Amino acid sequence: MDAETNHGESRGNSRQLVSGLTEGTNSADTQKGQPLGELSTPGRRRFVRAEAAIEHFRTAPPVDYERLRHDLADIITD
């Protein structure tokens, strides 16, 4: 989730929440610190900011491109 608002703020800031959705910002709604629900755009739930993806894969092993090509060729030719 990109943002978190409590239930009272959600009711008072619906215009801002909708504006955030149109910009791709997902939001969690809470009440007394407990999650109530999530607001997200359809089909965009898996959006990850570039910085987060780079950080996540920073420690990933390097790609063996020859092996990748061979594996893909095996899949395609089957």
Contact 29, 21 (CB under 8 A): no
Q: What is the DSSP string of 23-64?
A: TT--EEEEETTEEEEEE--TT-TT---HHHHHHHHTTSPPP-
- The alpha carbon dihedral of 17, 22, 25, 28 has a sign of positive
Q: What pTM value is reported for the model?
A: 0.37
Res 51: pLDDT = 92
Instruction: Provide the domain count of the chain.
Output: 1
Residue 72 belongs to what domain range?
3-77
Give tens-digit pLDDT for 28-47.
Answer: 888 888 888 887 777 655 67
Residue 10: CB atoms within 10 Å: 19
